[in-house]
Structure 1
């Protein structure tokens, strides 16, 4: 179980809070961007969040990391768990054949892909990992993609949830663990 301080905050949540860089007006005016790059670059921070994410794996057979920071997190968690990792890529990055899922973003559409050959996901219990849960579209599309490939998605885990953007409503009944929640 993750270490919790007397005030009820976890070590992972503290690492995220202390190491996240906030950037005003990025990528557009009025947005307060939460840059998690310093959390990943800090050895103690990375170890702490990897352990916290691994704790929610729920007996998974594989970890699916979403492009791009989810790749880093997913690989670290998979190594910790002794499982494989699947990179859920942005559209057009994998050779065919692929399974693909197109979804709506707040500013347009995007596509995610996984290989349709070479990896049998049938019946595999998969934990989805990403850095941020915002509007929920990316996680929801990943779940659809994995389920279409035959996987059983056991949940999703993220470092940071932007609660005000309503991502949990979009992912429905999926169990989502957020190491830190902000408005």
Structure 2
């Protein structure tokens, strides 16, 4: 099953993936699709507040953050890693429970990247915001590191995330019933 949608002016077929027998999500993966990455970055930057640094989570947000930073004039960006690396010093970390992962993950930032955030206007960017778990974890890290969050952006807002007034996004991505039909908002 697939769901067709237009994102940043481009049509894409999103495979539907089960979360359980009654709930499916549309898989939006920017890896390997430079056309959608460039277009989404362009359209998000048109909506973005002024910022000094972009912060994203490893790993699906990396191409987006990179392209946004490039299009914005080679601004710096920081990736919150899923685990500490040997070269990272004085690591700050938190946990995240994401709808697309079957276990609790760690997000962390080392001292060098922390300095890129401290005292700066931070724009958080990601591919999809759904439950907001990853976003909350990134916010926690940015706050611990002394950054000033000026905006939270995503290419797609999934399910109830589209109702939030604190995120900027390009398109709404519905959740899906087990038969592949979109779950309509209950209002």
Could you state the TM-score of these two structures normalised by the residue count of structure 2? Answer: 0.75
Q: Is residue 70 of structure 1 aligned with residue 61 of structure 2? A: yes
Match of 2:71 in 1: 80
Q: Give how far 1:40 is off.
A: 5.1
Unaligned runs of 5+ in 1: 1-9
Cα deviation digits, residues 42-69 of structure 1 (max 9, x gap)? 4432221110122233110011121111
Tell me: higher relative CO, structure 1 or 2? Use CA pairs within 8 A at least 6 residues apart. Answer: 2
Q: Could you tell me whether the CA contact under 8 Å between 2:41 and 2:67 is conserved in 1? A: yes
Cα deviation digits, residues 95-143 of structure 1 (max 9, x gap)? 3321111244565532210112464122111111111111101101101
Q: Could you tell me whether the CA contact under 8 Å between 2:119 and 2:147 is conserved in 1? A: yes
> After the TM superposition, which residues 123-134 of structure 1 pair with which residues of structure 2 at under 5 Å, given as runs?
123-134=119-130
More off after superposition, 28-37 vs 84-93: 28-37
Q: 1:178 to 1:115 in 2, by over 3 A?
A: same
Unaligned runs of 5+ in 2: 1-5, 175-187
Q: Could you tell me whether the CA contact under 8 Å between 2:114 and 2:145 is conserved in 1? A: no
Match of 2:139 in 1: 143
Match of 1:6 in 2: none
The alignment's C-alpha RMSD in Å is 2.7
- Bigger helix share: 1
Q: Could you tell me whether the CA contact under 8 Å between 1:24 and 1:30 is conserved in 2? A: no
One of 79, 82, 89 as aligned partner of 2:81? 89
Q: Is residue 111 of structure 1 aligned with residue 95 of structure 2? A: no
Inter-partner Cα distance in structure 2 for 1:179 and 1:97: 36
Q: 1:137 to 1:31 in 2, by over 3 A?
A: same
Aligned residues: 165
